[in-house]
Chains A and B, each alone.
Chain A
């Protein structure tokens, strides 16, 4: 089952900026975590790669000891990382987005293939001609009971990231270049070409998503001001969409635990979901 669409809890669209809040139930959450998010998070291939990479250092004249320790320690994923995967799965299921992996070297998944912007990919537009455009997503995960949460602001805040993607052509170009070096010869090359053709005609013809993953009660104050402000200087042809996904309270604290191997095993026996349900509550 795909990650759920969820229930729309508010709509604060302003001019052409779309800004919606949606809530997911615990069941919907767990279903998503168990299938799409797990596929994105669990990364045995990445572990193999790490070993290969540290071995390569022998030929460089640099020491590998410290790196070896870091790359091969198998630490569990962080909540923000799972948040990104959750958002990615959501955009894939409901916004016709496709975030291609690097498949140029060995077709293995590289979970960290999302540079600069958290999510870099393509969105199907449904148009007959050139049916794809580039899609860039920024994701913030926050349990802070403040509307909007602190992650909205600051140097690495969602506000600045969205504005940068909206206003700074070099940033968009950088992300396009990143896809470009991977697209050639891939199975998504045609989609890329369609998106690039649009981009070359107008380098604002892209979709930008700003996603807040929350486990607090829905509140349109999370997005209202942002929708308003973002619509100022909204470039022609650019699609901007802000989305807040509200998980049941307490969800964020348990996201990482969901992928700790022992928890995962227990979950496989049907116990962990109930446990987390109880813990998260409604």
Chain B
């Protein structure tokens, strides 16, 4: 079971703790927090917390009191049963608190005292479920914990010190080899026994010898238990390890009193319990429960670079206590703290599902909210699962399925079939609504960051996607992963239809590290002329982050070289100053509300931050990539020289991915980003400073989003304290309220929309309200239901049942309040009317699914295509014509049609603002497809007198990657499917069909040939895609090109071939290209 806030509260009332005194207890816990924070941030912040002379003594007494509570429950932890659960909880909570305090104590200098201190502290950590904190503590104190030398030590000490060395290995679990040494150390002791034991037992004093003999009996049994445990951690054997461990520890504990060593006696008892906790938390536990695929997986993660031996407490609880792998549960909703290790849980469940559906060739989908996360997850899954034959594919493009994706999805060749498909909700929706994988059952849908179901923009889409899966993929299982959702049970009930399970461990006390959340501001400092400095004050928050009253000075005077008046009034500069000061501790993120502010923050920090002592080779590689792909003078290159980077929509997808990689590798000191990073951050950072808690358009983050971001601050295993700051500005009371707000129940966006309609008194007018943009996803869904049924009256009659497959409607019906019934009734009536309305144009309904447009969007597209001056012909759609000479291409016409379609218009408008017309957009598109670099496009279309080249490049990147690459391919694909497109796919040759179907991907990837598209789909940088594409095509001969054949080609490509494809004067070498490809794709060269 997990330590909870309730069990901590209960142990705070334990008689031993109360013996110390309630006010003393509170004081002690506060001092412990203050010391932790001070130790972690002493170089950045001067905490004004005042200690008292008596605090040391108080902490010792308090720690001992909590240890008493823990000791009372040690037997319960050793022999857990339903009867002694309260004692187990008490033991864990007591150990948790005792560790919290004792880890701050100085490590004794005396060798023996040190050995016992460490073993005892580590045991407290294990019994309190805090091994991740322990591992960090070991890392922080590595030098002081070094095992003592055994040279010239007597035999019993030799054994003790050797065993200490073994347990250090067991605690730190560095890697396979490190653990494997335990076996050798114990074997060495057995050899040493022959040499040293006799002397140890020859003191000429029978009683002393007897004491030594008893001590040796204890030590030998302890050694054997250590060896057993080491073996189990490494390979999950022997079976029945608990009984064997108990046997040896029990014997050791019987023998040791005779040796008159109180410390050894106590520590053996604690280590016995610790060894049991280690066994129960071992990753091998899972292997024993599932199937051979999982066993292979566990073997691979223990032996590989991940060195993963132990489940984090939330993982262990989800698996062992909450039945995450229970096959009877069709829908499992996991509410888990951020950084609790949910991807690993998903991997276990995925392997289980693949195994379960093996005969039917079932597939699994992993749905992530952003393209960046799709890439990250793909890389992770490939790394973890491909070694034993699980094929992971991702869908990269916009809201369309291109020819190659289509082929990959439809493949029935067991040799090239994928097992896991990673994609965004939008892509999966298209796949499912168009029955792209009809021939194989969907075994499992994993939905990551599933709280997005309440997102204003995409929530409804996600909810309806789940409804579609639930209705149409009848055998599919669900795994929803989300943080801070108190009503996970509601979702489980909806999706599971009676076989749902909610695993709520979001409220456990476990966290990857402690956190401080506070306000920062710049204040005048008169110690120098016009001086200023930063100040930080902590906030009282709902998740009980550390709160130390007072204003705490940060850094020195004038941490950035800017005028006082600017510093005092500009939250962006203040966030930059905070991030710069805290960058000493590891990557620090400074968040601004728009791209321009992000660039200016990064510029300022770059100017004022000291150069890196040594620029890591990974940074050098990214610099060469930027020089080649963008240009020598791109500002980010110089910023990286000092460990500073930016992350926003004004960068290419590849650049963002590489910046994330540098952050993952911990090469970045400061990362300046826009608020949207909250959605995509999946790498370790030690602090985050927000100039505002609002998104660029003034909308505040939801508390759930904020805590999800805050939850990632502080690197597991590295930072004991993560620091999150918000600029005080003029919104102090608003922010104070914001961090106190609870995350609240997850509400369906459908219900949210209906609430809005009801509040506006428009419930009786709902069908008209449907026309609004925010209802588009709902209209698409209804159209889909209509198409599936193909019979108006059936749909009308079954509307209630069909709507019940949505979370919102079923929730409203379940609630049965007066207002709820009214909303549900209104929705039902309006839906029925809408069904009748769209049934008048069945062709629009049919096209809605294949295009992803709502029926109204289909109608606009059809009409506008018909209204074109010149009717389109198949030759107009040929890539050479479409992206060919201006004046002869029909691309401007197509863009003008797109601008009339609601689904596309706003995004296309963003490409150049109101002054850019459809011709300009067509020109940009052609240049992009024809290989013009971002810099060239920026110079041609986005440079003006006001902007420098960085601003122009940012605008160009935003226009292309954010808007053109989404709306362009989507529009192109949708228009090509219209009956008025001039195309007749049925009469086309296979080649021609594929060429037309490749058009969207060409726009998406910015290349003009099919072979280059395939390479870009496999993460090949754009600057070499066309040249390598030609090689790929010629190498392939008559063989059909596919995503997989492109990947195989790339895996076998030599440095020389990469090099030969590089453009003239490229800063990147062949091996650079290969490395970048490796990082972006997650693929390893053969």
Contacts and interface: CB of A to CB of B under 8 A. Distances in A.
B16 A63 contact: no
Given A70-B201, A71-B210, A112-B257, A63 B194 contact: yes
B815 interface: no
Interface in A150-186: 169-170, 173-178, 180-181, 184-185
B526 interface: no
Contact of B266 (A62, A170, A181, A184): A181
B190 A62 contact: yes
Contacts of B227: 61
Interface in A178-224: 178, 180-181, 184-185, 193, 196-197, 199-201, 203
A179 to B, nearest CB: 9
Contacts of B72: 184
A94 interface: no
Contacts of B198: 66
A30 B763 CA distance: 103
Contacts of A176: 64
Interface string A61-75: 111001101110101
B790 to A, nearest CB: 72
B1028 to A, nearest CB: 59
Contacts of B253: 105
Contact of A200 (B19, B113, B193, B251): B19
A120 B19 CA distance: 22
Interface in A31-56: 46, 49-50, 52-54, 56
A110 B210 contact: no
B492 interface: no
A75 B208 CA distance: 11
B986 interface: no
A270 to B, nearest CB: 29
Contacts of B212: 70
B71 A184 contact: yes
B108 interface: yes
A177 B67 contact: yes
Given A70-B213, A102-B257, A62 B19 contact: no
A193 B71 CA distance: 13
A62 B21 CA distance: 49
A59 B247 contact: yes
Contacts of A139: none
B695 interface: no
Chain A binding surface, main DSSP class: helix
A30 to B, nearest CB: 23
B262 A112 contact: no
Nearest to B267: A177
Nearest to B263: A174
A110 B216 CA distance: 17
B188 to A, nearest CB: 12
A92 interface: no
A76 B206 CA distance: 8
A112 B223 contact: no
A102 B259 CA distance: 14
A70 B210 contact: yes
Contacts of B207: 75, 77-78, 81
Contact of B71 (A52, A77, A181, A199): A181
Interface string B949-975: 000000000000000000000000000
Contacts of B193: 62-63
Given A53-B251, A200-B20, A184 B258 contact: no
A193 B16 CA distance: 8
Interface string B768-798: 0000000000000000000000000000000
Given A53-B255, A110-B258, A200-B20, A115 B220 contact: no
A76 B205 CA distance: 11
A281 to B, nearest CB: 28
A170 B108 contact: yes
Interface string B257-284: 1111111011001000000000000000
B217 A200 contact: no
Q: Which of B113, B247, B251, B259 is the most central at the interface, judged by chain A CB atoms within 10 Å of its CB?
A: B251
Contacts of A102: 257
B260 A112 contact: yes
Contacts of B825: none
B1051 interface: no
A70 B215 CA distance: 12
A113 interface: yes
B417 interface: no
Nearest to A120: B262
B224 A115 contact: no
Given A53-B255, A73-B206, A203-B61, A60 B68 contact: no
Contacts of A76: 206
Q: Which of B198, B213, B251, B259 is the most central at the interface, judged by chain A CB atoms within 10 Å of its CB?
A: B213
A71 B265 contact: no
Interface in B470-497: none
B65 interface: yes
A135 interface: no
Given A116-B261, A175-B262, A197-B16, A53 B254 contact: yes
A169 B106 CA distance: 14
Nearest to A55: B251
A173 B64 contact: yes
Q: Which of B207, B212, B258, B261 is the most central at the interface, judged by chain A CB atoms within 10 Å of its CB?
A: B258
Contact of A116 (B108, B213, B254, B260): B260
Given A102-B257, A184-B75, A54 B19 contact: no
A114 interface: yes
A57 interface: yes
B266 A177 contact: yes
A209 B265 CA distance: 23
Interface in B105-157: 108, 113
B81 to A, nearest CB: 16
Interface string B214-229: 1011001101100100
B15 to A, nearest CB: 7
A97 B205 CA distance: 30
A70 B207 CA distance: 9
A39 B209 CA distance: 23
B738 to A, nearest CB: 41
B57 interface: yes
B265 A178 contact: yes
B65 A200 contact: yes
Nearest to A116: B262
A194 to B, nearest CB: 10
B262 A174 contact: yes
B1054 interface: no
Contact of B19 (A75, A113, A180, A196): A196
Interface string B54-75: 0001001100110110011011
B262 to A, nearest CB: 4
Contacts of B186: 61
Interface string A254-279: 00000000000000000000000000
B667 interface: no
A193 B269 CA distance: 20
Interface in A97-131: 102, 105, 110, 112-116, 120
A71 B248 contact: no
28 contacts: A49-B254, A56-B247, A57-B220, A60-B223, A60-B224, A60-B248, A70-B209, A71-B213, A78-B206, A105-B254, A112-B214, A112-B259, A115-B260, A115-B265, A173-B60, A174-B263, A177-B64, A181-B71, A181-B266, A181-B269, A184-B71, A184-B72, A197-B16, A199-B61, A199-B64, A201-B21, A203-B57, A203-B64
Given A180-B68, A181-B269, A203-B61, 5 more contacts: A53-B255, A62-B193, A177-B262, A184-B71, A200-B65
Interface of A: 46, 49-50, 52-54, 56-57, 59-63, 66-67, 69-71, 73, 75-78, 81, 102, 105, 110, 112-116, 120, 169-170, 173-178, 180-181, 184-185, 193, 196-197, 199-201, 203
The 5 closest A-B pairs by CB, nearest first: A75-B206, A115-B262, A178-B262, A60-B224, A70-B213
